[in-house]
Chain A
Amino acid sequence: MEKIVSRHFGQPDSHHLENYLKDNGYEAARRAITQMTPAAVIDEVKKSNLRGLGGAGFPTGTKWSFIPAANPKPKYLVINGDEGEPGTFKDKYIFEQDPHALLEGIIITCFAIGSHKAYIYIRGEYTKSLERVQAAVDEAYKGKYLGKGIMGSGFDIDVVVHPGAGAYICGEETALLESLEGKKGFPRLKPPFPAVVGLFNCPTVINNVETIACVPPIINKGAEWFAKLGSEKNGGNRLFCVSGHVARPGVYELPNGTTLRELIYDHAGGIPNGRKLKAVIPGGISAPILTPDQIDVKMDFDSLKAIGSMAGSGGIIVMDDTTDMVWAAMVAARFFAHESCGQCSPCREGSGWVYRQVKKVYLGHARPHDLNNLPGIVNNIGGNTICAFGDAVSMSVGSYVSKFRSEFEAKLQPAHVA
Chain B
Amino acid sequence: MFSAEYKQELDKITNKYEQKRAALLPLLHCVQEKEGLVTPETEKDLADYLGIPVVHVHEVVSFYHLFHQKKLGKCHFSVCQTTACALRGAEDIIGHIEQRLSIKPGETTPDGKFTLNVVECLGACEIAPVMQYNDREYRGLLDKKKIDELIEKNK
**A162 — which chain B residues lie within 8 A by C-beta?**
25-26
At the interface, yes or no: B66 with Cβ under 8 Å from chain A? yes
A242 CA / B84 CA spacing, docked (Å): 9
> A121: shortest Cβ distance to chain B, in Å?
9
A74 CA / B135 CA spacing, docked (Å): 36
Determine, out of A44-52, A59-67, A86-94, A97-105, the stretch whose residues face the partner at the interface. Answer: A86-94
Choose one: A83, A165, A167, A281; the contact of B28 (CB below 8 Å).
A165
Query: In the complex, are the beta carbons of B66 and A87 less than 8 A apart?
Result: no
**A200 — which chain B residues lie within 8 A by C-beta?**
18-19, 22
> A321: shortest Cβ distance to chain B, in Å?
12
Q: Assuming the A-B contacts A163-B25, A181-B22, A183-B56, are A87 and B125 also in contact, with contact meaning beta carbons closer than 8 angstroms in the complex? A: yes
At the interface, yes or no: A374 with Cβ under 8 Å from chain B? no
Determine, out of B3-11, B115-123, B147-155, the stretch whose residues face the partner at the interface. Answer: B115-123
B interface size (C-beta, 8 A):
42
Query: In the complex, are the beta carbons of A127 and B121 less than 8 A apart?
Result: no
Choose one: B18, B25, B59, B125; the contact of A315 (CB below 8 Å).
B125
Q: A271-301, CB under 8 A of B: which get 1 and which 0? A: 0000000000100010000000000000000
At the interface, yes or no: B12 with Cβ under 8 Å from chain A? no
Choose one: A164, A167, A317; the contact of B84 (CB below 8 Å).
A317
Pick from B16, B126, B128 the residue with the most CB of A within 10 Å: B126
Choose one: B63, B120, B137; the contact of A185 (CB below 8 Å).
B63
**B82 — which chain A residues lie within 8 A by C-beta?**
86, 285, 331, 335
Choose one: B19, B59, B64, B86; the contact of A181 (CB below 8 Å).
B19
**A251 — which chain B residues lie within 8 A by C-beta?**
126
At the interface, yes or no: A123 with Cβ under 8 Å from chain B? yes
Query: In the complex, are the beta carbons of B132 and A183 less than 8 A apart?
Result: no
**A165 — which chain B residues lie within 8 A by C-beta?**
25, 28-29, 64-67
At the interface, yes or no: A195 with Cβ under 8 Å from chain B? no
Query: In the complex, are the beta carbons of A181 and B83 less than 8 A apart?
Result: no
B91-148 CB contacts (< 8 Å) to partner A? 119-128, 132, 135-137
Q: Which residue of B lies closest to A86 (CB)?
A: B121
A242 CA / B128 CA spacing, docked (Å): 11
At the interface, yes or no: A106 with Cβ under 8 Å from chain B? no
> B72: shortest Cβ distance to chain A, in Å?
14
Query: In the complex, are the beta carbons of A125 and B123 less than 8 A apart?
Result: yes
Size category of the A interface is 35 or more
A221 CA / B29 CA spacing, docked (Å): 41
At the interface, yes or no: A399 with Cβ under 8 Å from chain B? no
Q: Assuming the A-B contacts A179-B25, A183-B60, are A89 and B124 also in contact, with contact meaning beta carbons closer than 8 angstroms in the complex? A: yes
Query: In the complex, are the beta carbons of B56 and A244 less than 8 A apart?
Result: no
> A178: shortest Cβ distance to chain B, in Å?
10
At the interface, yes or no: A375 with Cβ under 8 Å from chain B? no
Query: In the complex, are the beta carbons of B126 and A244 less than 8 A apart?
Result: no
At the interface, yes or no: A391 with Cβ under 8 Å from chain B? no
Query: In the complex, are the beta carbons of B124 and A244 less than 8 A apart?
Result: no
Q: Which residue of B lies closest to A341 (CB)?
A: B63
Query: In the complex, are the beta carbons of B65 and A317 less than 8 A apart?
Result: no
Chain B positions within 8 Å of A, measured between CB atoms, are 16-19, 21-26, 28-29, 50, 56, 59-60, 63-67, 81-84, 86-88, 119-128, 132, 135-137
23 A-B pairs whose Cβ atoms sit less than 8 Å apart in the complex: A85-B121, A87-B121, A88-B125, A92-B124, A125-B66, A127-B135, A128-B137, A162-B25, A163-B25, A165-B64, A165-B67, A167-B64, A168-B120, A183-B60, A242-B126, A243-B128, A244-B83, A244-B125, A249-B84, A249-B125, A281-B83, A331-B82, A334-B81
Chain A positions within 8 Å of B, measured between CB atoms, are 74, 83-89, 92, 117, 123-128, 160, 162-168, 179-185, 200, 241-245, 249-251, 281, 285, 315, 317, 319, 323, 328, 331-332, 334-335, 338-339, 341
